[in-house]
């Protein structure tokens, strides 16, 4: 069975190799209040609605301890303080992180040639997406639709409602006609909660967490090791498959169609 709709994530999946725009903004926000999170702590909730991301980070023992020592209660007021700094920082830098990843434009062209629609979901807000979509479109990437948590009453990942909004947009009759592709655990959870096939992508992903230069400079043995670890992360989250990069997607779909 060939899907009617592919739903891509944005940062780390189709643009922003390594998903660095939000990482840098989260780091800056917490550091402003005397808290120094690790990159692993920042990336663990990646893909969620950004306020939910901050709430999740504040609940992490080491971060919560630092926050309480420096700022007091790790409550909703703390979330809003952090979000204000995060949002301002991210909006200022987002335009620099809208470059399509390698293979994205060619893959989208190949999918459209088969009559497949291109949808998308994101952890960004509408205001953030206004910057990202404009920058990506200038460089040739524009999905047929996109939905942020703002479109679904703030119920971002892991809730499935952004996926259902895409399906409604294109009048897709069944979850069996849809595939989700993303670069975070939250992407996989979103897809599985929607009841659709969900794929992780390795190269340039938040799970891998490397710049293109860092990744390409890895010795072969080290590269295989980090790829295997990232693949296991996706599979443990329930992914139905893992792609090295988006260029492999048309072939993966073809093989699925043969099996069906």
User: Catalytic residues, which ones?
Assistant: 9, 50
Instruction: Give Cα separations from 217 to 18, 21, 40, 77, 172 (angstroms).
Output: 14, 22, 21, 43, 42
Q: What is the DSSP letter of 58?
A: H
For the beta sheet containing 241-243, the strands, ordered from the edge strand earlier in sequence to the opposite edge, are 117-120, 5-8, 178-182, 197-201, 241-243
Q: At what angle do helices 249-259 and 104-113 cross, to 10 degrees?
A: 40
Q: Which of 258, 207, 247, 246 is nearest to 228 (CA)?
A: 207
Could you give the 3-state DSSP secondary structure of residue 242? strand
């Amino acid at each position: 069975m060939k899907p009617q709709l592919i739903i891509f994530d944005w940062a780390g999946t189709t643009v922003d190799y390594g998903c660095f725009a939000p990482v840098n903004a989260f780091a800056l926000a917490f550091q402003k209040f005397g808290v120094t999170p690790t990159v692993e702590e920042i990336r663990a909730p990646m893909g969620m609605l950004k306020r939910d991301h901050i709430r999740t980070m504040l609940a992490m023992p080491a971060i919560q301890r630092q926050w309480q020592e420096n700022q007091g209660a790790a409550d909703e007021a703390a979330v809003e303080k952090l979000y204000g700094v995060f949002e301002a920082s991210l909006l200022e830098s987002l335009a620099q992180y809208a470059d399509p990843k390698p293979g994205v434009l060619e893959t989208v062209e190949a999918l459209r040639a088969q009559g497949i629609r291109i949808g998308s979901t994101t952890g960004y807000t509408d205001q953030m997406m206004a910057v990202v979509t404009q920058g990506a479109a200038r460089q040739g990437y524009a999905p047929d639709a996109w939905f942020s948590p703002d479109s679904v009453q703030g119920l971002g990942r892991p809730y499935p409602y952004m996926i259902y909004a895409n399906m409604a947009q294109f009048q897709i009759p069944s979850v069996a006609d849809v595939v989700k592709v993303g670069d975070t655990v939250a992407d996989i959870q979103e897809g599985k909660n929607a009841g659709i096939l969900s794929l992780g992508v390795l190269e340039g992903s938040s799970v891998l967490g490397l710049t293109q230069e860092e990744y390409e400079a890895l010795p072969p043995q080290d590269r295989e090791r980090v790829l295997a670890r990232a693949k296991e992360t996706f599979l443990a989250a329930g992914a139905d498959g893992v792609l090295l990069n988006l260029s492999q997607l048309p072939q993966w779909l073809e093989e699925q169609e043969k099996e069906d």
